[in-house]
Copies of this chain bind each other. A is one copy, B any other.
Amino acid sequence: MATKNTPKKILLDESEMPTQWYNLVADLPVPPPPALHPGTHEPAGPEDFAPLFPMALIEQEVTTERYIDIPGEVLDIYKLWRPSPLFRAKRLEELLDTPARIYYKYEGVSPAGSHKPNTAVPQAYYNHKEGIKKLTTETGAGQWGSALAFATAQYGMELEVWQVAASYRAKPYRRTMMEIWGATVHSSPSEVTEFGRSLLAENPDHPGSLGIAISEAVAMCVADPEARYALGSVLNHVLMHQTIIGEEALLQLAKVDEVPDLLVGCTGGGSNFGGLAFPFMREKMAGNMNPTIRCVEPAACPSLTRGEYRYDFGDTAGMTPLLKMHTLGHSFIPDPIHAGGLRYHGMSPLVSHVYDQGMVEAIAIGQRECFDAAIKFAKTEGIVPAPEPTHALAAAIREALACKESGEDKVILTALCGHGHLDLAAYDAYLSGEMVDYDLPDEAVNEAMKSVPVLG
């Protein structure tokens, strides 16, 4: 049973930071299906995306180039926090009494406290470069909205954010963070869009949803030719920007002569998971390593394990192009679990595709097991994790305990995609015994799946 005297933190110098993003599409044996125009159901072309995104990002969305250079102006801002540290979870291993070696790549060191700035910064940059002065976006708990507020502040751009009303009311501090960086934040549904007004007319206390907030942000973007829209996950270019996580982790593991046996990552829209996993999938396809790669989703919003692989809309109002993805139906409203960033009805088309191809596995875990894992982690490793990556930690702990049984000294790698400093109310609910695991009946899934369009 091997033990390795790895340093606690494996750091990279700024000079060692990767200077290219990796595009998984270039290496896939079967290409992923294209997005479809919502009206014609024909493959969507660049012109269909042009009202929403700058041309550089549209090109990145469909490119088959293997690597894309990270612009110098983006690298300069990445250096505010990147390269991010890779930690060996030695104290957690000791608590679990496991022969496994657990590594976590920590993205909570970014200004917004999550991995989201990895794509927020280039998205703001390319818009700025094409003369765009204003962006619109949606946010749930606020991780993405605050990341984009930070990013637009770097380029002197305006930002309007539609935040899901339930979070806007319950978590005022994320809004404050967005305002510190200069953004304007609306509660969604809002009075400023027709869709929002129609929902508020039905219910003035409407709690909102991510799908509704996307509809509002897209509508406001389309109405203003000077504005563009930015999305924090799901799309190919977003996941590609996140691959800097995995590229750094590869360099860091190589520094300590480790090769992972298992990767685990939490999946909501798929950007944190893809960011970590895609560079390792390249190495696996090249025969350089052979890790198992496992998605971990919340039991209350199980798009991979209980959804279907179908063309569906990204938003509630049905305004976006149709994406082939694992979906629970765009009308699905998940139970109010604390991992707000994982409460999305669909899954990134690229992650859905590699899951469909059998290249990755998926499991679903309830939130109480996740917070139990989080407390164990905080007490040993110190960091209080965001609710989203507690899913990956719970899966890592399951595997480490299995190693204890089997005696295997597996190397487990996970991405700790953010800290939980703005999610302490969730911990309070767990510690006071008020947190519940929601049951998701088949009927609820079947009902929501009826909203998925039937294509001719």
Give me the interface of A with B, judged by CB distance under 8 Å.
7-9, 11, 13-15, 76, 79-81, 91, 109-111, 113, 150, 153-154, 172-173, 176-177, 179-182, 375, 378-379, 381-384, 419, 421-422, 424-425, 427-428, 431
Contacts and interface: CB of A to CB of B under 8 A. Distances in A.
A369 B35 CA distance: 51
A277 to B, nearest CB: 26
Nearest to A150: B382
Given A375-B180, A424-B177, A381 B80 contact: yes
Given A81-B382, A379-B153, A382-B80, A427 B180 contact: yes
Contact of A384 (B111, B154, B384, B427): B111
Contacts of A154: 91
A378 B146 CA distance: 12
A134 B427 CA distance: 24
The 9 closest A-B pairs by CB, nearest first: A111-B382, A421-B421, A173-B424, A8-B79, A176-B424, A176-B428, A80-B382, A153-B379, A7-B14
Most buried by B among A80, A109, A113, A375: A80
B384 A177 contact: yes
A431 B176 contact: yes
A378 B110 CA distance: 12
Given A111-B383, A173-B425, A177-B424, 5 more contacts: A7-B15, A8-B76, A150-B382, A176-B428, A180-B378
A11 B11 CA distance: 9
A444 B420 CA distance: 41
Copies of this chain in the oligomer: 2
A113 B172 CA distance: 20
Contacts of A79: 7-9
A76 B7 CA distance: 10
A83 to B, nearest CB: 9
Most buried by B among A91, A173, A422: A173
A18 to B, nearest CB: 16
Contacts of A80: 8, 91, 381-382
Contacts of A113: 421
A67 to B, nearest CB: 24
A310 to B, nearest CB: 39
7 contacts: A80-B381, A111-B381, A172-B428, A179-B427, A180-B379, A181-B378, A422-B424
Contacts of A172: 424, 428
A425 B91 CA distance: 34
Contacts of A181: 378-379
B425 A176 contact: yes
A176 B422 contact: no
Nearest to A419: B421
Contacts of A11: 11, 13
A427 B111 contact: no
Contacts of A153: 379
A399 to B, nearest CB: 22
A150 B380 CA distance: 9
Contacts of A375: 180
